[in-house]
């Protein structure tokens, strides 16, 4: 796996995937920067990390997403997990609800099997998706069914209950869900997650 961006989300997810037994490399724009000394795994250039991975996880700021994908080179045929949130000033979705950041990511990375996931909960939940006996729900979507299968398995590996919502355009629903989570965190704090109540 290549985690593009070694910030809070990147290192949290990277640590969890490594603990679950996956080979994780980080791809950053300045691998020799001393600030990456504490990153929990090998730190390479974006191009090198992406080229040698089957699964690429985009965890940069939204502002850095396009440049990062350009630096990654050809991602055709790879699973590309988009964990970003396309949020601009004033807590507004930059792509509104008739398009989405995930669909923009797909246009920037032609041929990649883009799956939207890991964007709708805070990094504290990524670090520990267990809530007693329950597991945090992870909304995900993507056009490629085997890619969604793979991301569902990865999410389950680190303790989530993955819930697929269909094709990539469903990111138009999942990205606003992040705004709900962020807004609710102002009153609930950050140790809460999505869950589902079922009736038989």
Ligand X SMILES: NC(=O)c1ccc[n+]([C@@H]2O[C@H](COP(=O)([O-])OP(=O)(O)OC[C@H]3O[C@@H](n4cnc5c(N)ncnc54)[C@H](OP(=O)(O)O)[C@@H]3O)[C@@H](O)[C@H]2O)c1
* Residues forming the site for ligand X (CB under 6 A): 5-10, 28-30, 59-64, 67-68, 83-85, 119, 122-123
Strands 161-164 and 137-142, sheet pairing: parallel
Question: Least Å distance between CB 125 and ligand X?
Answer: 8
Task: Name the minimum Å distance from CB 81 to ligand X.
Answer: 11
Least distance in angstroms from the C-beta of 184 to ligand X: 13
Q: Which secondary structure element, helix H or strand E, spans residue 172, and what is its range?
A: helix 171-188
Whichever of 30 and 145 has its CB closer to ligand X, that residue is 30
Tokens matching residue 163: 């819930």
CB of 78 to ligand X, least distance (A): 18
Instruction: For ligand X, give the closer residue by CB, 135 or 190.
Output: 190
CA–CA distance from 186 to each of 92, 181, 183, 192 (Å)? 17, 9, 6, 12
Residue number with CB closer to ligand X (145 or 188): 188
The residue (of 64 and 167) whose beta carbon lies closer to ligand X is 64
Q: What DSSP string describes 4-54?
A: E--SHHHHHHHHHHHHTT---EEEES-TT-GGGGG-SS-EEEHHHHHHT-S
């Amino acid at each position: 796996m290549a985690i593009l961006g070694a910030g809070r989300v990147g290192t949290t997810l990277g640590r969890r995937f490594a603990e679950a037994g996956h080979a994780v490399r980080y791809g950053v724009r300045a691998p020799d920067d001393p600030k990456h000394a504490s990153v929990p795994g090998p730190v390479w250039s974006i191009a090198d990390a992406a080229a040698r991975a089957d699964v690429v996880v985009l965890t940069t700021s939204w502002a850095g997403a396009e440049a990062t994908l350009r630096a990654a080179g050809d991602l055709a045929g790879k699973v590309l997990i988009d964990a970003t949130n396309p949020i601009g000033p004033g807590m507004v979705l930059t792509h509104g609800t008739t398009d989405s950041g995930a669909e923009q990511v797909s246009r920037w990375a032609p041929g990649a099997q883009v799956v939207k996931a890991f964007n709708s909960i805070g990094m504290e939940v990524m670090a520990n998706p267990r809530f007693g006996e329950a597991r945090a729900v992870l909304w995900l979507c993507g056009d490629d069914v085997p890619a969604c299968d793979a991301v569902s398995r990865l999410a389950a590996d680190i303790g989530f209950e993955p819930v697929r919502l269909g094709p990539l355009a469903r990111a138009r629903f999942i990205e606003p869900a992040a705004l709900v989570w962020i807004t609710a965190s102002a009153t609930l704090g950050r140790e809460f997650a999505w869950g589902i109540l079922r009736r038989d």
